[in-house]
Structure 1
Amino acid sequence: MPIIKHEQFLEAPVEVCFDLARNVDIHTQTTPKTNEKAVGGVTEGLLEQGDMVTWEATHLGVRQRLTAKITHMERPTMFVDCMVKGAFHSFTHTHHFQEVSGGTLMIDRFEYKSPFGLVGVMADKLFLEKYMTNFIISRARELKRIAEGY
């Protein structure tokens, strides 16, 4: 089961970073390459513990839907979203926010399991893990850009 971890420093207060990361409207702004939009559940504003959102996006050339639920939240230092329905067998994405001198250290930990057994494991090694890593890094950089201009 691949685990992707990425750290991004943001020159912004921890509360701002936390709220931007769980804002549905901001999420769509940070994912322009996949054209993500919320089409079900909470479709705007801030996500709270227990909320579900269904995203529609184009990944690897395929238009797809994924529903995630906010399963845990400790404002303003952490929240967790887990896939309820979608292309993965499962995933858990933990978002940590640590106040540091001069700003916030945002730490993404994305743990997932691909579908299709051995074929999925091969897809991870061939392209999926790299694709997901790049997706998470790209979104973190966009959040940094937005937070530092806030």
Structure 2
Amino acid sequence: MPVLIEVVTVIHAPPAVVFDLELDVDVHTASLAGSGETATTSTGLRRLHLDDEVTLHARHLGLPWRTTSRVTAYDRPHRFVDEQTRGPFRALHHEHLFDDLTSGGTRMTDRMSITAPAGALGDVVAHLLLAPYLRRLLQRRGSHVKAVAEAGREHPA
């Protein structure tokens, strides 16, 4: 059974800036430095586009994780979607939405749906452990992107 996780971050920067930062794998890995995350892209470029894949290696919940996702939808600067092609979940669908606010900022919404392996037991683990953990990761990443975007820099110092 899929679990839906949604995190909203308001950022005082234009949607195009926030959109591009979200697709920058170096910004992504910097936001999760505590997990030792590294990223390899299918193109060798550091900013993802439609049909690009990224493989992430990290340590989460005390375990090594490896997941590969593909950008399956791309509508700059409003929305993109990445979906797991290989990894620990039966399914992972991550929609990124960027709404232009009248104040000149952006409401960035991360909407992630996960389906865990292992049937009913996996569903319980997904609800009780994985969803709260992934919510914290999305919040941490959103805060990092917000700091970078509002500082007007492409990458953190």
Are the counterparts in 2 of residues 8 and 105 from structure 1 also a CA contact under 8 Å? yes
Alpha-carbon distance, 1:127 to partner: 1.3
- Looking at structure 1, the residues matched to 54 and 129 of structure 2 have their Cα atoms a distance apart, in angstroms, of 26
Residue 59 of structure 1 corresponds to: 60
- Matched AA of 1:64: W
2:119 to 117, 120, 124: 117
Would you identify which runs of 4 or more consecutive aligned residues in structure 1 move more than 4 Å?
none
- Looking at structure 2, the residues matched to 40 and 21 of structure 1 have their Cα atoms a distance apart, in angstroms, of 14
* SS at 1:128 equivalent: helix
- Looking at structure 2, the residues matched to 42 and 140 of structure 1 have their Cα atoms a distance apart, in angstroms, of 25
Residue 155 of structure 2 corresponds to: none
Residue 147 of structure 1 corresponds to: 149
- Looking at structure 1, the residues matched to 89 and 44 of structure 2 have their Cα atoms a distance apart, in angstroms, of 22
Alpha-carbon distance, 1:103 to partner: 0.7
Structure 1 pair 68–129 and aligned structure 2 pair: CA distance change class (3 A): same
Are the counterparts in 2 of residues 23 and 44 from structure 1 also a CA contact under 8 Å? no
Report matched runs for 1:1-150 at 5 Å: 1-100=2-101, 101-150=103-152
- Looking at structure 2, the residues matched to 103 and 40 of structure 1 have their Cα atoms a distance apart, in angstroms, of 29
Cα deviations by residue, 1:61-93 (Å, 9 ceiling, x for unpaired): 111210000000001110000000001111100
Q: Percent identity?
A: 34
Specify every segment of 5 or more residues in structure 1 that has no aligned partner in the other structure, as ranges. none
Alpha-carbon distance, 1:43 to partner: 4.7
Q: TM-score, normalised by structure 2?
A: 0.91
Specify every segment of 5 or more residues in structure 2 that has no aligned partner in the other structure, as ranges. 153-157
Structure 1 pair 63–44 and aligned structure 2 pair: CA distance change class (3 A): farther
- What value does the CA root-mean-square deviation take over the aligned residues? 1.2
Across the two proteins, how many residue pairs are aligned to each other? 150
